[in-house]
A and B are shown apart, each in its own frame.
Chain A
Amino acid sequence: GENVEQHPSTLSVQEGDSAVIKCTYSDSASNYFPWYKQELGKRPQLIIDIRSNVGEKKDQRIAVTLNKTAKHFSLHITETQPEDSAVYFCAASIAGMINSYDKVIFGPGTSLSVIP
């Protein structure tokens, strides 16, 4: 089955700097990679996702890159702000009719602290 690793487990950056979180996956068939943000005491929320037919996707200050050959993908946050402080989870799965959301495997999370 799929296994997702995530690094670092904790990350502190100064406000305005960039933050990068890296994930690796084991199943080469995986083609759907969502990222969730969970603020302290709140629910996980989808912030961006990428599919294997693209190598990079951007949404304002957030970007995700995917390297299928190396089986790793990364989240990049530029111009970080204190409200970016949260736990970020990567995940991997195989999209398509045969697969349902229970097959989405989450990484262990990265706790990001943005220092004002």
Chain B
Amino acid sequence: NAGVMQNPRHLVRRRGQEARLRCSPVKGHSHVYWYRQLPEEGLKFMVYLQKENIIDESGMPKERFSAEFPKEGPSILRIQQVVRGDSAAYFCASSLDRRVGTEAFFGQGTRLTVV
């Protein structure tokens, strides 16, 4: 389960800057999910990606947020023109199989602080 790597672990950005969060899934996993966790709240689904495809982005804010999972390299969650309300922990998870019931393994998260 140590295979999902997220970086950076902590990220501080000033309002208006861009934040780029990276996630390398478990080797061999082609399904990646991003979640946002606000203080004292649960995990809120943002986006589900497979290699080079966005499968479900129903949890993504319509503006400023984007995600990609290129053929080579990690998945990237990009937040443009960050605002204080974007401060949260962002987790990615990966799974071998898309089916519910197949365990998704989480990374340790990136804690974004917007000052």
Q: How many residues of A contact B (CB 8 A)?
A: 30
A94 touches B43 (CB 8 A): no
B106 touches A95 (CB 8 A): no
Q: Which of A79-112 contact B (CB under 8 A)?
A: 89, 93-97, 99-109, 111
**A115 an interface residue at 8 Å Cβ cutoff?**
no
**A26 an interface residue at 8 Å Cβ cutoff?**
no
Q: How many residues of B contact A (CB 8 A)?
A: 31
Q: Which B residue sits closest to A6, measured CB to CB? A: B42
B106 touches A100 (CB 8 A): no
Query: Which residues of B sit under 8 angstroms from A95, Cβ to Cβ?
Result: 99-101
Given A95-B99, A100-B100, check contact A43 B108 (CB 8 Å).
Answer: yes
CB-based A-B contact count at 8 angstroms: 77
**A20 an interface residue at 8 Å Cβ cutoff?**
no
**B82 an interface residue at 8 Å Cβ cutoff?**
no
**B25 an interface residue at 8 Å Cβ cutoff?**
no
Given A45-B106, A100-B56, A106-B43, 13 more A-B residue pairs with CB atoms under 8 Å apart are A32-B100, A36-B106, A43-B107, A94-B100, A95-B100, A101-B48, A101-B99, A101-B102, A101-B104, A102-B33, A102-B55, A102-B59, A105-B45
